[in-house]
């Protein structure tokens, strides 16, 4: 019997599951439990390790060390961790750690698929804390995929200004941004936020897009530092 076998199953594993998520517990006990659960590798153990990312302990160096240990303990099990990680990504308020794990065990395309599926379940109505939605959309500002433009376009009408700001950035980062050009134009005309309008206009400048058909209306929405040429070309001073 191996060193960690005595902890598998029964009450032993449950003890370590309880310990790893207890921020008021002893450091050495949490550390031991992280190692035990990492070596166990069962779905139950992996889900318990993910709970460690939902709490913070002092000092910060200890918090970082324990989270890194949990991260490596999960990643070492590869595809077996995918189910628990995807469930955690959907239920958790935080994106950073589960996304970091996914990047280790999945291809970039597969990670994008997971994020798109997560975004498809989000809405554009008011919500008290839209941070997770903001984080998901912001990740697409660093990813390229033909599916992103269509998935993100509806968030140009989100109730939250920061969501709209990152939605613009995510669309303009894509090679297929042209597909959302009309949506961006309508968003610009309806937008009250100066920084969102400026971000849209920067995209027009970069791509030499024009606002010819809505020139008169668009001229009224130009923030300081931007002008329209005679043919609707956007100019940045």
pLDDT digits (tens, 9 = 90+) for 7-66: 444 458 999 999 999 999 999 999 999 999 999 999 999 999 999 999 999 999 999 999
The domains of the chain are located at: 1-106, 125-237
pLDDT digits (tens, 9 = 90+) for 74-106: 999 999 999 999 999 999 988 999 999 999 999
Structure tokens at 117: 């599926």
Least confident of 10-14, 80-84, 135-139, 178-182: 10-14
Sign of CA dihedral 218, 180, 197, 130: positive
Structure tokens at 108: 């970039």
Helical (H) or strand (E) element with 111: helix 108-120
Q: Does pTM surpass 0.75? A: yes
């Amino acid at each position: 019997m191996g060193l960690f076998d005595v902890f598998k199953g029964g009450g032993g594993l449950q003890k370590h599951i309880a310990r790893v998520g207890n921020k008021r517990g002893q450091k050495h006990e949490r550390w031991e439990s992280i190692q035990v659960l990492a070596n166990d590798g069962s779905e139950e153990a992996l889900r318990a390790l993910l709970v460690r990312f939902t709490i913070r302990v002092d000092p910060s160096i200890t918090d970082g060390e324990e989270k890194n240990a949990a991260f490596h303990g999960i990643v070492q099990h590869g595809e077996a961790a995918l189910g628990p990680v995807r469930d955690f990504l959907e239920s958790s308020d935080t994106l950073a750690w589960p996304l970091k794990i996914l990047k280790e065990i999945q291809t970039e395309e597969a990670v994008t698929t997971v994020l798109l599926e997560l975004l498809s379940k989000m809405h554009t109505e008011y919500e008290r804390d839209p941070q997770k939605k903001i984080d998901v959309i912001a990740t697409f500002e660093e990813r390229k995929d033909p599916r992103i433009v269509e998935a993100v376009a509806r968030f140009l009408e989100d109730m939250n200004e920061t969501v709209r700001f990152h939605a613009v950035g995510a669309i303009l980062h894509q090679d297929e941004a042209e597909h959302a050009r009309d949506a961006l134009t309508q968003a610009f005309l309806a937008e009250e936020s100066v920084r969102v309008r400026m971000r849209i206009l920067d995209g027009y400048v970069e791509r030499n897009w024009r606002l010819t058909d809505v020139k008169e209306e668009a001229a009224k929405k130009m923030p300081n530092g931007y002008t329209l040429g005679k043919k609707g070309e956007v100019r940045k001073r």
